[in-house]
Structure formats: structure tokens, C-alpha cells
Amino acid sequence: MKNIIIAGATGLIGKEVSRLLIDRGDKVTIFSRSVVKAQNIIPNAENYIEWNSGSTNWYKFLEGMDAVINLSGENVMAKRWTEEHKKNIIISRLATTASFVKAFEYIVNKPKIYISASAVGYYGDSKNTVSENSPPGNDFLAKVVKAWELESERIDKFNVRRINLRIGVVLDKYEGALSKMILPFKLYIGGPLGSGNQWFPWIHISDVAGIFLFSIDDESLKGVVNCCAPNIVTMNEFCKSLGMILKRPSLFRVPEFILKIILGESSDVVLKGAKVIPQKIIEAGYKFKFENVEDALRSILKVYSSYQDVI
């Protein structure tokens, strides 16, 4: 049984990680701006602490913890990338990370491990295979992730094991990219975004959560870890698989210029991609539940399997 703190637990990944940890008997403390919201979304946690990264009243709860998981950060796709939103994307990640670094300076019994969410956006747009040792890209997201990880590296001076999980596109039925793609396919107007030739580094929600737990338990794992499925596909291949499972065509491509008109600079998130290989987690011995995109989609969309017509 481990004592674990999770900040940003009410999001897609945090909910699943919290559930798995609680189910296996760990004592989970939730740091949240809204305790009531956290209690409603994640029942049965050991404790709920009102958390503001700018305050210090939560420092004492870090004492002697086995792990701290930081999933905080402004939703990248919450709105169009105005200069204000881009500023919030950066500040929300750097400020919360800096607050944990400062807290670690004050507490005596430091947590054994600090795990921070990160993103495969670090690699930018790349046609070549990239691993944890590959250089960063040059676009906005790559610069955000690079700065985010550099801030977290300050944890190292406390001799605390640190892991930055560079997470790919998380597949889930109710939240994230896949949830927004299902309806167009159901209406026979689904298809690839942009050229369709861009890499689509995906991962099933179960494997994301599984890698978080594996990272806590495997004391040899540290540093940057790619968190995406080993069998990466292009956007075209992903949409073809999605259409096949939903018994719908994948014909209606959304042109790049349309996405740029609608989303502005944030369209880079779906128009760019890198061929990311999860080298370190494979070498560490993690066994993926879903290595192939078709198996992952069938698992998530199994509710449709008994219907000839999804509408």
C-alpha cells in the first residue's frame, strides 16, 4: 500500500489513475481547486485537499508520501490560441511545477517519486522515428513542453526520482480527440484531418493509467518516458480503422486550410505529428494491453458491436 498525492486528478487521465490506485488499495490524496468537485468525480479517496499552487498550506501533506503525480495544466485545446491562452498554457504548467519544487525545499521527508504529465508535442512535426533521446521540435507546443520538463528537472537536486511521461493522443469514448471524431463518422461524414499523412501517436486510456502505476512501482525507471502505443499509425490509417469498426466510410477529409480558419494556430495539434516510439517503457518491461489501434478502438467502442446501425 502506497500513499500518493495527485494534483489535477479530475481530468481524463487523473480520474482513471485515481480509480486504479484506489482499487488496488493505495491511499490517494487529491489536490484540487474544488474539493466538492473532486469528491463527486473521484469518490473513496483517502483525503481531499483544497489546493492553490500559489499558497503554502498544502506543503505539509507532502511529508513522507510515496509519490506525487502532477497532472495540472490549462487545457491546450480549450479555446483558440490567442496570445492570452498561449500564455495561460505555459504559465499553468510552469507555475504548478515550480510550486512543487518550492514545496520540496521546505519539507523534511521528501516523496520518493515525482511524476509529471508531459506530451509528445515535444517532438514537433517529424516524419522520422523519434525516441526519448531525440531533439525537440521548434513549434509552440514543443517549446512549452521543453520549458515544462526543464522546470521539473529542478526536482532532481532533492534526490527524488523524477519521471516525465510524454503522453500521446489518449483514446477514450467520452473525452478527448476520439470522442469528437465518433459523431461525424456516425453521420457518414467522417474522415482524416488535413493530409492524413501525419503520424498519430495514440494510446488507450487503460495503458496511460497502467504506465503511471508502473512508473510508481518500478524504482529503476526515471527521466523522460514516451507514453504512447508501440504500433503507431498515420491519421489516414487511424480513420480507416475507426470507420471499419463503426461500419462507416472514411472519405470526408477536412482540408488543412479549413482547420486553420476554425482553430488558428492550435490546428497544429491535429495537423502535425511525430512517429514516437515508447522505447524506455518497453525496455523496462511494461506490457501494453492494447498495442494495435484496431484492438484499442474495438475495446472502447464495444457498445456498438451488437448494432448493425449505430444511429
- pLDDT score at 27: 97
Identify the band that residue 261 occupies on the pLDDT scale cut at 50, 70 and 90: low
In the predicted model, is pLDDT for residue 272 greater than 90? no
- As a dihedral over the C-alpha atoms of residue 150, residue 156, residue 160, residue 162, rounded to 10 degrees, the angle is 30
222: left (phi over 0), alpha (psi -120 to 50) or beta: beta
Does residue 266 belong to any structural domain of this protein? no
In the predicted model, is pLDDT for residue 307 greater than 60? no
For residue 303, with 0-12 CB atoms within 10 Å meaning exposed, 13-18 middle and 19 or more buried, which class applies? Answer: exposed
How large a percentage of the chain has pLDDT more than 90?
A: 74
Pairing of strands 126-130, 202-204: unpaired
In the block, cell 503554502 appears at 56
SS3 content of the chain, % helix, strand, coil (to 5): 45, 20, 35
Report the alpha-carbon distance of residue 93 to residue 75 in Å, rounded: 10
* Closest by Cα among 16, 18, 47, 52 to 33: 52
Does residue 108 belong to any structural domain of this protein? yes
Lowest mean pLDDT among 60-64, 198-202, 232-236, 262-266: 262-266
Q: How many residues does the chain have?
A: 311
Here the CATH number for the domain that contains residue 12 is: 3.40.50.720
In the predicted model, is pLDDT for residue 20 greater than 80? yes
Lowest mean pLDDT among 106-120, 145-159, 260-274, 284-298: 260-274
More confident residue, 293 or 255: 293
How large a percentage of the chain has pLDDT more than 70?
A: 96
Report the alpha-carbon distance of residue 60 to residue 53 in Å, rounded: 13
Report the alpha-carbon distance of residue 128 to residue 182 in Å, rounded: 29
Domain with 80, as residue range(s), is: 3-171+201-228+279-288
Q: Quick one: DSSP state of residue 53?
A: T
- pLDDT score at 306: 39
Report the alpha-carbon distance of residue 103 to residue 59 in Å, rounded: 6
Report the alpha-carbon distance of residue 148 to residue 97 in Å, rounded: 8
Section 32-45 average pLDDT? 94
Tally of domains in the chain: 1
Does residue 62 belong to any structural domain of this protein? yes
pTM, 2 dp: 0.92
* Closest by Cα among 57, 66, 94 to 6: 66
In the block, cell 480549450 appears at 78
Q: What is the DSSP string of 71-87?
A: -----TTSS---HHHHH
Tell me how crowded residue 127 is: count the other CB atoms within 10 A of its CB.
11
Report the alpha-carbon distance of residue 255 to residue 300 in Å, rounded: 27
Does residue 118 belong to any structural domain of this protein? yes
Lowest mean pLDDT among 5-14, 107-116, 176-185, 237-246: 176-185
- pLDDT score at 285: 97
Does residue 184 belong to any structural domain of this protein? no
pLDDT tens figures, 44-57: 999 999 998 888 99
pLDDT tens figures, 167-182: 999 999 888 889 888 9
Beta partners for residue 50, in sequence order: 32
Does residue 94 belong to any structural domain of this protein? yes
Answer positive or negative: Cα dihedral of 268, 191, 227, 27. Answer: positive
